[in-house]
Chain A
Amino acid sequence: MVKTETEEKNWVGRPVPRKEENRLLRGRGKFADDIKLRNMLYLGFVRSSYAHARIVAVDTSRAQARKGVVSVLTGPEIASETQPFLEIGPEPCAKIKDYPLAVSKIRYQGEPVAAVLAESPALAVDAVELVDVQYEPLDPVVDVEEALKDESVLHEEAATNRVWRGVFEYGNVDQAFAEAAYVVDIDRLHFHRFSSTPLETNVILAQWDGKDERIYYWCNNSFPSFAIQFLAAHLGVPIDRIRVETSDIGGSFGIKITSYPQMAVCALASRKAGGRAVKWVETRSEHMLASAHGNERTFRRTRVALDRQGVITALVSEHLDDCGAYPRYEPLGCVIWSQVFPGVYRFRNARIDFTQAVTNKCPVGPNRGYSRMQHLWFLERVVDICAHQLAIPADEMRLRNYIRREEFPYTTPNGCVYDSGNYAKMLDVAKALIGWEEWKKKQASAREEGRLIGIGIGTTLDSGTNNFGQSQIVNPAAPFSGNSQGANCKLDIYGEVVVAVGSCPQGQGHETTAAQVVADVLNIHPDTVTVRTGFDTERNVHTGFSGTYASQFAVSGLSAVHGAAQKLKHEMTRLAAFALQASSDDLEFGSGSTGPEIRSRSTGASINYWGLSNIVNVNSAVLPPELHDITLNCRYVWRAPFKVPDKEKKYGSLTLTYASQLHIAVVEIEPETFIPRILDYAAVDDCGTRINPPIVEGQVYGATAHGIGAALMERCVYDSLGNMLTSTFSDYTPITAMNMPNVKYGHIETPSPHSYSGAKGMGEGGAAPLHAISAALQDALSARGIVIADSFNNGDSLFRALAEQKSGQGTKPVKVERRS
């Protein structure tokens, strides 16, 4: 019996169990380290313990002499055989020479100096210890403001530590300040450096096949189409000679995007070893010390103009971004933050002077909420500080400043188009979830007892599906613009529906959501759809933007899947009309006694998918000429409707969808230890139409955990010599389930007009917990005149802030000018 489309409820939007679960929870996932090749060698990196030093000599003789060691690679050797990696930024950034092994100078602790290739992992570890490196230490610079003085320059060829600078100015700032009722000055805010801690560290298996001059990679890089562009130019090989395959990935959060330097070393090591495969498995300490960290940012000399009602009318500020020792994915972060230029607020006049510099710290990489969370945290601090200074309740302050529901689609001062949203409604939902009024009463009575309880709101955005044309704002010569994703949908020889996408899921449930989309198009059950995820350059479903990053699969990836499925459906319809001798209008898709089929409504005749596929694949002589174009193997490339932004004005649509999150945290500062403890927590999400609600909810929990960890537990601490003091989990203390509060989850749906399903990209979460917890701590301490000026707060920092305030040593970071 055929179930018709009208009888069957859509699969999109339903809590379909994750298809991946069966494999992953039974330990049957295939991760990069599960792949073993014959005669495989193992690579270990010799890393610098200095943050800044000249390399005087590298003596590899003892390591080379060790039995089981095949070879040792050094920086000068690699530099003689390759080109420096491409730099995305213009000069001075473009002058930086970045090789995967240090050539003559060390620029961050943990930078690889040499690579040892051995017959076993243990031999490689031992041999690393036998490489003698003589250094001449140089003065390290670990602070971005110090770096900009150029007293100790990291890259002599660039002659400065400044990587990029640009002024983003919109509206009439001076007039807005002249007309302001209040002007609030905030001396300095600081967003700390932290990272992601995926369970699986970076893993690379490479083989340089000399027979056909091809390089094969099996790895867990999460943006391989980006990586191969860098690798091809660096290694001097045509890009189609590089094959990259990814399989299951145990988390990335963006941090695995920048593993291409290690990929280069593994390939070169394989070539040196005569084409034997080379595997490198990063240790946890290596990952913490030298993979990539999130951007650290300092906000200086912020001035805010407000009207009498506390509505922000203008903002000026200087933002200094610390990108670590090498730019790599940077300076893209210098413009990516501007996707959310005004955050969720309505101010139209602003001038932000943005500068990025290198320091003697681990290079940064795109970390969950990349570049935008720093800016959104800054805006939330500005709103909260102004609210406290003007004695406006935090919720009321936001309602006065939020972009209003009726203003969507909303064009920001810099030309971005927020597709949809309803921030005021999210606030209502979150307040109801947390019990706002009850907590206000509890807070008042607790304060009478001397307890420090604060309630904080964090409203944030998760912009998804980038317009890569924004790269031209940082470098007008950059050859990137737009965005696209490819997908393939086919009927296999025995009629199996197989979908292939070019994404690299790391827990986002792409197999499930892609199956839901195809199931709706063909009116079949998602279990009858096989989805091949994982990037493979030879699967022909990727474009130059393929990968998993920047909250985009629900829009770009699934739009490509939807397009491919519709093409397949069209071909199947034509073929079934021929086979059943029926008109296309008479056909319906569904499932019958032999599985998925197409049926004639008028005659009841049907043909199942095997029958259809049989005609095309193994019985093709029966096909009439007019159907010879049918392949039942349909590729579709979805392209985002972007234009190249105005480079001079820094104006244009930079992102397609804007999911939003609103979190409320209730935090108490323990009186004895000053440790902040979360008493209650609510998280409300709006990612438009939810394709699979439990998957959305899971990502909200994950992003919330990540944000709470960053706010209270996790930070990359460097001492003045550039030593990273938190290169182990013992010191970094990543958040675990034991540290998580009970999160009260809620959602609203404002469908996006920019995607076929109404879905918006989501998953990065916009770092809402950082905003909400900083706001809660501010609320708890504002009566004592303390301003929360750092995104990281723990018992130690809060004790110091209170002690300084008590002793009168505390600075006055905020000034208010009230004009009559």
Chain B
Amino acid sequence: MAIRLSGEFEVRRKPEEVYDFLSDPQKFAPLLPDYRGMTQQDATHFTLRVEVGISYIKGMAEMKMHLEEAERPKRARYRGQGSVAGGNVSVTAGFDLRPTDSGTVVAWAGESLIFGRLTSIAGGLLEPLGKKNVQRLIDGLRAALE
């Protein structure tokens, strides 16, 4: 199952400030919904721990993340892979920054590829849950960057 979402929002900060925030896992990751912790291996590799709850299916997911594209102050792109509830998830999340007179437009795009039994058991719930969580993340980002 693939969930693809995208959008954009504007903040008053300069692209450099936005980029520094988005490319720093220590700042960025805690904004993820149900974030429970992280360990950073190096500047571009870190492991996230997030709690996953889809109806009665609950568990902890470990996501191995990599900041695979970083072009200050234009672009940051993460790729990750993890396992959850008998399945696997691959995610990509990218941010393209565009300066404006008043700040920066953040164009974001995310893709989650979900593999495994979860798609059968909770397939119908995943997309709305994904949308809700992405919206929470974006709202958190906006708030943090304002």
Complexed CA–CA distance, A721 and B113 (Å):
8
- Chain B positions within 8 Å of A, measured between CB atoms, are 1-2, 81, 83, 86-88, 90, 113-117, 119-121, 123
Q: Kindly list the 10 A-B residue pairs having the minimum CB-CB distance in the complex, ordered from nearest.
A: A49-B116, A723-B119, A49-B87, A49-B115, A727-B120, A49-B88, A50-B115, A725-B120, A719-B1, A725-B123
* CB interface residues, A 716-769, toward B, < 8 Å: 719-728, 731
> What residues of chain A lie closer than 8 Å to B87, measured between beta carbons?
49
A55 to chain B, nearest CB (A): 13
Chain B CB within 8 A of A436 CB: no
Measured CA separation A494–B1 after assembly (Å) = 66
Q: Would B116 and A723 count as touching, CB distance under 8 A?
A: yes
CB pair B1–A727 under 8 Å, yes or no, is: no
Residues of chain A within 8 A (CB-CB) of B120 are 723-728, 731
If the complex has contacts A135-B88, A719-B1, A720-B2, are A51 and B117 also in contact, measured as CB distance less than 8 A?
Answer: no
Contacting pair A721 B2 (CB below 8 A): yes
Contact status B123-A50, CB under 8 Å: no
> CB-CB contacts of A274-314 with B at 8 A, as 1s and 0s?
00000000000100010000000000000000000000000
Q: Flag whether A137 is at the interface (Cβ < 8 A).
A: yes
Residue of B nearest to A137 (CB): B90
Q: Which residues of A contact B121 (CB under 8 A)?
A: 728
Chain A residues with a Cβ under 8 A of chain B = 49-51, 109, 135, 137, 285, 289, 719-728, 731
The distance in angstroms between the C-alpha atoms of A34 and B128, with both chains bound, is 45
Shortest Cβ distance from residue B65 to the other chain A in the assembled complex, whole angstroms: 15
Contact B88 A50 (CB under 8 A): yes
B117 near A721 with CB under 8 A, answer no
Q: Which residues of B contact A731 (CB under 8 A)?
A: 120
Instruction: Report Cα–Cα, A489/B88, bound state, in Å.
Output: 57
Using Cβ atoms and an 8 Å threshold, which residues of chain B touch A285?
117
The 8 Å CB contact of A137, one of B1, B113, B119, B123, is B113
CB distance from A275 to the nearest CB of B (A): 32
Contact (Cβ within 8 A) B2 A49: no
- Specify the chain A residue showing the minimal Cβ separation from B90: A137
Tell me whether A51 and B119 are in contact (CB under 8 A): no
Across-interface contacts of A726 in B (CB, < 8 A): 120
- Distance in angstroms between the alpha carbons of A815 and B101 in the assembled complex: 60
Among B1, B113, B119, B120, residue most surrounded by chain A Cβ atoms (within 10 Å): B120
Cα distance, A109 to B86, chains bound together (Å): 12
Taken together as a complex, chains A and B put the C-alpha atoms of A50 and B88 apart, in Å, by 7
Which B residues lie within 8 Å of A135 (CB)? 81, 88
A728 to chain B, nearest CB (A): 6
Contacts of B90 in A (CB 8 A): 137
Nearest-neighbor residue (CB-CB) of A719 within chain B: B1
Least CB distance from B112 to A in Å reads 11
**In whole angstroms, what is the CA distance A728 to B119 when docked?**
11
How many Å from the CB of A409 to the closest CB on chain B? 49
Residues of B within 8 A of A109 (CB): 115-116
Question: Are the C-beta atoms of A727 and B117 separated by less than 8 Å?
Answer: yes
Closest residue of B by beta carbon distance from A129 = B86
Known: A137-B115, A723-B116. 12 other contacts (CB 8 A): A49-B115, A49-B116, A50-B116, A135-B81, A137-B113, A720-B2, A721-B2, A721-B114, A722-B115, A723-B120, A725-B123, A727-B117
Mind listing 23 A-B residue pairs with CB under 8 Å?
Answer: A49-B83, A49-B86, A49-B116, A49-B117, A50-B88, A50-B115, A50-B116, A109-B115, A137-B81, A137-B113, A137-B115, A285-B117, A719-B2, A720-B2, A721-B2, A721-B115, A722-B115, A723-B1, A723-B116, A724-B120, A726-B120, A728-B120, A731-B120
Which residues of B lie under 8 Å from residue A721 when comparing CB positions? Answer: 1-2, 113-115
Cα separation A727 to B1 with both chains bound (whole Å): 14
Q: Which residue of A lies closest to B85 (CB)?
A: A49
**Pairwise interchain contact B113-A725, C-beta atoms closer than 8 A:** no
Q: A724 contacts which chain B residues (CB < 8 A)?
A: 120
Nearest residue in A to B88 (C-beta to C-beta)? A49
Residues from chain B with Cβ under 8 Å of A51 in the complex: 115
**A285–B115 Cα gap in the complex (Å)?**
15
Q: Chain A contacts of B83 at CB under 8 A?
A: 49
CA distance A727 to B83 in the complex (A): 19
Residue in B86, B90, B115, B119 with the greatest tally of chain A CB atoms within 10 Å: B115
